[in-house]
Amino acid sequence: MATPRLPDFLQSVNLKHVKLGYHYLITHLLTLSLLPLIAVVFIQASQMDYDDVYQLYLHLQYNLAAVVVFSTVLVFGCTVYVLTRPRPVYLVDYCCYRPPDHLQAPFHRFMEHSKLTGDFDESSLEFQRKILERSGLGEETCVPAAMHCVPPQPSMSAAREEAETVMFGALDNLFGSTNVKPKDIGILVVNCSLFNPTPSLSAMIVNKYKLRGNIKTFNLGGMGCSAGVISLDLAKDMLQVHRNTYAVVVSTENITQNWYFGNKKSMLIPNCLFRVGGAAVLLSNKPADRGRSKYKLVHVVRTHRGSDDAAFKCVYQEQDGMGKTGVSLSKDLMAIAGQALKANITTMGPLVLPISEQLLFFTTLVGRKLLNPKMKPYIPDFKLAFEHFCIHAGGRGVIDELEKNLQLSEEHVEASRMTLHRFGNTSSSSIWYELGYTEAKGRMKKGNRVWQIAFGSGFKCNSAVWEALRNVKASGHSPWADCIHRYPVKILN
C-alpha cells in the first residue's frame, strides 16, 4: 500500500490570495488590535448611570489644574502642528503640446532626409535605420520644421520658433481650461536642457503673457530628461514659502539646434529617439482649489549619481573628432540607470510601501547579512503602493528594464510604451503624455496613486507621487483626444 502523500499546497492554495491576506492583516494590525479595547470601553460606558457620570464630573472638578494644563498643552500642540505642517500642493490641470500633422516624420521620410543632407555615410544611415526599427517609435512622431528642410536649417531663429510654438501652445490651452489669468501666476519654473538663449525661456513666457513684475521665475538648463520632476520639486518648495498663489511648471526640450550631423554611432541615437513635445502644469497651494484639482502631490524623491565618473559621463554633450556637437550615450547607460533607480526606490520605499512589504524586505535583508549572503534579495511589490506607473519614455530598453525589475504587468507600462510609439522621447515632458494616456483610457479613479519616474543626465533618477482627488477624465485638450481609440497598438520586435 502506497504511503499517503502530503497535499501539494502550491497547487491547492492560491498563494496570491494568501499574500493579499497577509498584507491586509499587517496593514490593519493596529486597528485589529484596538478593536477588543474599543469593545471593552464601549461596554463599560454603556453600563454607566447618572451617578457614575456625576462622580466623574466631580473628580475632574477637583483636579481643575491638571485639566487646564492638559487642555493648554493640547491646544498649543495642535497650533504648532497646523502652522508647521507642509502646505498641500494641488495639480489643478496640465496640458501637453500636440504637434500638427505636417511635422510628422515617418521612417521613410526620416531616412530619405538623412541621406539627402550628405552628412552621414552608409554605415551611419544603416545604423539609424536599425535604431528606428527597434526603438518602439511609430510613424507619427514629429520633428521641428527646420529638420524638414533639405538641407536642414538649424538656426537660432528656428530654435526660438520651436520653443515658442511648443511652450505657448501648451500654456494657451492651460490658461483656457483653468480660467486662471496670467497675472495670477506667482511662480514660474521652466526647464529645457539643450537650448538656453538670452533672454531666457522663462523671460519669453513673461513677455508673451505679460506676467506681473514680482513673479518668481526660474530657468533650469542642462539637467536632462528628469528635469521635469526637479522643476516640480522647486515649485513645491516655493509654494511652501509663498501663500495663496499659483505656480506654473513648463517642461520641454529643443531639437532644432541639437541635431547631430556626424557619424559617431553613440551620438546618432538621440536623432532617432527625441521628438517635439512639451507640457505646462498649473500647481496651487490654495485650499479653495482642492475641489477642482485633479491630483495632490504626495512625495518627490530625487537621487543624484553625479559623484561617480561613469554615471556623470554616460549622457554627455561633446564634439566628435570632426568638431560636430552632439549628445553621446554610453553603452553602460542601462546599468547606471538601474543603480540610480535602486538608490531612488530605497529612499522612496519606506514612504509609500505598506508596512507588510517593508517587513518582508527587512527580514530578507537581515537574512542575507546574518545567515546566507547568497539568499535572493526580496524585490518590494510596488504594485501594492501604486495603481499607475508613468515611466519616462526614454527608449524601449528603459521601459523593458523597469517592467522586468519592478515586476510590472503589460498594462502598467502600457502608457509609457504608447507614448513612446505616438510621440517619441519628448524628454522631461514624456511623463505628462503618459498621465494623459491613463486619463484618456478612463483608468484614473479617486484615491489612485501615480508614480512618475524620470531619468536624466548627471546621472539622476527622480520620482514624483500623486494621489487622484477624483475620477479624472481626459480633457478636450488632451493630446490623445483624436487617437486614443487606436491604442494600445502592437509593438513589433
Q: List, edge to edge, every strand of the sheet that includes 185-191.
A: 216-220, 185-191, 246-252, 278-284, 90-96, 295-304, 460-468, 449-456, 388-391
Contacts of 156 by beta carbon, 8 Å cutoff, 6+ apart:
197, 257
- Rounded to the nearest 10 degrees, how much is the dihedral formed by the CA atoms of 142, 145, 151, 153? -130
Question: Do 296 and 302 touch, CB atoms closer than 8 A?
Answer: no
Catalytic (active site) residue 388: yes
Which residue in 344, 392, 412, 462 is the catalytic one? 392
Contacts of 349 by beta carbon, 8 Å cutoff, 6+ apart:
357, 358, 361, 380
Q: Angle 122-134/265-273 helices, nearest 10 degrees?
A: 50
User: Residues 6-10: contacts with CB within 8 Å, 24+ apart?
Assistant: none
In total, the chain counts a number of residues equal to 493
Catalytic (active site) residue 148: no
Phi, psi of 47 (to 5 degrees): -90, -5
CA distances from 67 to 34, 72, 76, 273, 469 (A): 26, 9, 14, 68, 40
Which residue in 254, 285, 425, 462 is the catalytic one? 425
Catalytic (active site) residue 285: no
Which residue in 95, 225, 314, 390 is the catalytic one? 225
Residue with cell 542601462: 334
Lookup: cell for 92: 489643478
Which residue in 421, 461, 462, 477 is the catalytic one? 421
Catalytic (active site) residue 421: yes
Work out whether the CA dihedral 480, 483, 488, 493 comes out positive or negative: negative
Which residue in 142, 272, 388, 477 is the catalytic one? 388
Question: Do 225 and 428 touch, CB atoms closer than 8 A?
Answer: yes
Question: Do 208 and 250 touch, CB atoms closer than 8 A?
Answer: no
Active site amino acids? 225, 304, 388, 392, 421, 425
